[in-house]
């Protein structure tokens, strides 16, 4: 893709009632709405009508500690996205599945199915799962070490991609006269036998409209960056400054090139939590109101999980203790661990201040300001080698998503930053990414299915 053809992409991160931990306690929020299809459909319509390229659903596979003090129920994202397929027509639908617990055949089949029923708008957010409580729900005593989880993720990805590639694009002939549904020479066994997973294949779902669903990855650790550069079409990341975002952007692009990929085909989309107001003071007042209803006990539980240390023992009015900050000791979410410690040290935050920053943006870049000010920041990052687009994490849903859609998106459009009116119906086309060929270039097909 040429530099002249660049445009800023927008991804709506939809998490429960909002990306702020206290969203469910705001006066306008219905705490019971997350189990209602109308809630999710309404958000998808707002995002699609505003021109967002995709909508993203995260997931966690356990009822977490302190769940009684925050919005903790999480429905299956693939079920929600399947329902949203019927009420949307343009926006990409990205869902999370874990490589630590899902077998490749299930992953490949579910996302190929979603890709078909959406007409080519499906994306898979690849996670390795980092919370130890999730392991117990799958009969495991604990999670493998960080490096082991990423090694398994690579194996699962290889198997899943092989399953998607087991059908050529023109395999279905549906010849009623000959009584032949598919050409057996164009459907291939997989016979993947890796260090962690095995699968025979082929998939029992034909090749989807995109060839393969979009692959999304969000880890920013060393292992996460390697996985992203090798496989991902889109990389989500949490960065707190233009300087940090540029360094991450350059690193991912360099790693992608080293892996033999076109760096322009790996899109980096950092998270931003925008709080929009008619004035900066009004936006800050909005943020203060949301921060004011954070449940401190839950924020301490969350900080403890990120830091792998008991934050309840910390002095709230002092900086993080000196002993906190050794990333090598963490086997959970290494990138979030490093981000939060860096944030605390760089800005000299007390634990109390850090609790609000973590509860507010989960470590992502947070900006309270006018639509013009937020658009200025996004344009600066986009034009200075820090982002190909943004994962927009509105604090309270649907209120703040609607505010962003009605103010910031038109401002970005007026500046000519968005790819308005671009051709194509699939998510890959919408993002300006290349089409996946019938079979990978240079790949030798596996033996055909015997007729």
Q: Is the pTM of this model over 0.85?
A: yes
Alpha carbon distance 136, 68 (integer Å): 19
Cα–Cα distances in Å, from 56 out to 14, 254, 351, 401, 434?
A: 6, 26, 30, 13, 21
CB neighbour list of residue 9: distance below 8 Å, 6 or more residues apart: 53, 54, 267, 269, 388, 389, 390, 419, 431, 432
HEC string for the chain: CCHHHCCEEEEEECCCCCCCCCHHHCCCCCCCHHHCHHHHHHHHHHHHHHCCCEEEECCCCCCCCCHHHCCCCCCCHHHHHHHHCCCCCCCEEEEEEECCCCCHHHHHHHHHHHHHHCCCCEEEEEECCCCHHHHHCCCCCCCCCHHHHHHHHHHHHHHHHHHHCCECCCCEEEECCCCEEECHHHECCCCEECCCCEECCCCCCCCECCECCEEEECCCCHHHHHHHHHHCCEEEECCCCHHHHHHHHHHHHHHHHHCCCCHHHCEEEEEEEEEECCCHHHHHHHHHHHHCCCCHHHHHHHHHHHHCCCHHHCCCCCCCCCCCCCHHHCCCCHHHHHHHHHHHHHHCCCHHHHHHHHHHHCCCEEEEECHHHHHHHHHHHHHCCCCCEEEECCCCCCHHHHHHHHHHHHHHHHCCCECCCCCCCCHHHHHCCCCCCCCCCCCCCCCCCCC
Per-residue confidence (pLDDT) for residue 334, from 0 to 100: 58
Q: What is the pLDDT along the chain (451 residues), one digit of tens a residue?
A: 444 468 999 999 999 999 998 999 999 999 999 999 999 999 999 999 999 999 999 999 998 777 787 777 899 999 999 999 999 999 999 999 999 999 999 999 999 999 999 999 999 999 998 888 999 999 998 888 989 999 999 999 999 999 999 999 999 999 999 999 999 999 999 999 999 999 999 999 999 999 999 999 987 889 999 999 999 999 999 998 999 999 999 999 999 999 999 999 999 999 999 999 999 999 999 999 999 998 877 777 778 777 878 888 888 888 888 777 555 554 455 566 777 887 778 778 888 778 777 766 666 899 999 999 999 999 999 999 999 999 999 999 999 999 999 999 999 999 999 987 566 899 999 999 998 876 654 455 555 555 4
Per-residue confidence (pLDDT) for residue 442, from 0 to 100: 47
Nearest-5° angle of CA 412, CA 413, CA 418?
90
Torsion sign across C-alpha atoms 363, 369, 370, 376: negative
Per-residue confidence (pLDDT) for residue 92, from 0 to 100: 98
Per-residue confidence (pLDDT) for residue 121, from 0 to 100: 98
Alpha carbon distance 72, 60 (integer Å): 9
Per-residue confidence (pLDDT) for residue 52, from 0 to 100: 97
Per-residue confidence (pLDDT) for residue 18, from 0 to 100: 95
Per-residue confidence (pLDDT) for residue 441, from 0 to 100: 47
Q: Are 205 and 116 in contact (CB under 8 A)?
A: yes
Alpha carbon distance 83, 215 (integer Å): 21
CB neighbour list of residue 336: distance below 8 Å, 6 or more residues apart: 238, 306, 362, 363
Per-residue confidence (pLDDT) for residue 9, from 0 to 100: 97
Alpha carbon distance 391, 235 (integer Å): 10
- Kindly state which CATH superfamily the domain 6-277+365-431 is placed in: Luciferase-like domain (3.20.20.30)
């Amino acid at each position: 893709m040429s530099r002249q053809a660049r445009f800023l992409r927008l991804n709506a991160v939809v998490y429960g009632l909002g990306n702020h931990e206290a969203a469910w306690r705001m006066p306008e929020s219905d705490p019971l709405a997350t189990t209602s299809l109308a809630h999710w459909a309404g958000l998808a319509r707002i995002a699609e009508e505003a021109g967002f390229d995709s909508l993203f659903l995260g997931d966690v596979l356990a009822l977490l500690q302190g769940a009684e003090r925050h919005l903790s129920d999480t429905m299956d994202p693939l079920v929600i996205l399947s329902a949203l397929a019927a009420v949307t027509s343009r926006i990409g639908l990205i869902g999370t599945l874990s490589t630590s617990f899902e077998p490749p055949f299930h992953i490949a089949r579910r996302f190929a199915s979603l890709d078909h029923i959406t007409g080519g708008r499906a994306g898979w957010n690849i996670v390795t799962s980092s919370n130890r409580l999730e392991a117990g729900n799958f009969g495991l005593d604990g999670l493998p070490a960080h490096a082991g989880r990423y090694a398994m993720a690579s194996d699962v990805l290889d198997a899943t991609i092989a399953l998607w590639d087991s059908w050529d694009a023109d395999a279905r002939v549906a010849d009623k006269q000959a009584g032949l549904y598919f050409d057996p020479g164009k459907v291939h066994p997989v016979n993947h036998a890796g260090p962690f997973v095995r699968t025979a294949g082929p998939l029992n779902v034909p090749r989807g409209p995109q060839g393969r669903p979009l692959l999304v990855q969000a880890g920013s650790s060393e292992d996460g960056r390697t996985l992203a550069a090798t496989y991902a079409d889109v990389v989500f990341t949490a960065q707190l400054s233009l300087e940090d975002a540029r360094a991450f952007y350059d690193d991912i692009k360099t790693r992608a090139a080293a892996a033999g990929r076109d760096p322009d085909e790996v899109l980096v989309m950092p998270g931003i939590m925008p709080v929009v107001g008619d004035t900066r003071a009004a936006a800050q007042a909005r943020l203060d109101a949301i921060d004011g209803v954070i449940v401190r006990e839950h924020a301490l539980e969350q900080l403890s999980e990120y830091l792998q240390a008991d934050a309840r023992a910390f002095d709230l009015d002092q900086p993080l203790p000196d002993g906190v900050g050794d990333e090598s000791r963490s086997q959970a979410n290494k990138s979030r661990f490093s981000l939060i410690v860096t944030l605390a040290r760089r800005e000299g935050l007390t634990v109390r201040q850090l609790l609000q920053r973590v509860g507010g943006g989960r470590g992502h870049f947070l900006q309270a300001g006018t639509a013009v000010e937020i658009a200025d920041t996004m344009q600066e990052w986009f034009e200075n080698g820090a982002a190909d687009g943004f994962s927009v994490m509105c604090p309270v849903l649907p209120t703040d998503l609607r505010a962003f859609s009605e103010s910031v998106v038109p401002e970005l459009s007026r500046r000519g930053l968005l790819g308005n009116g671009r051709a194509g119906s699939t998510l890959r086309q919408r993002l300006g990414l290349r089409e996946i060929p019938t079979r990978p270039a240079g790949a030798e097909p596996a033996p055909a299915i015997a007729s």
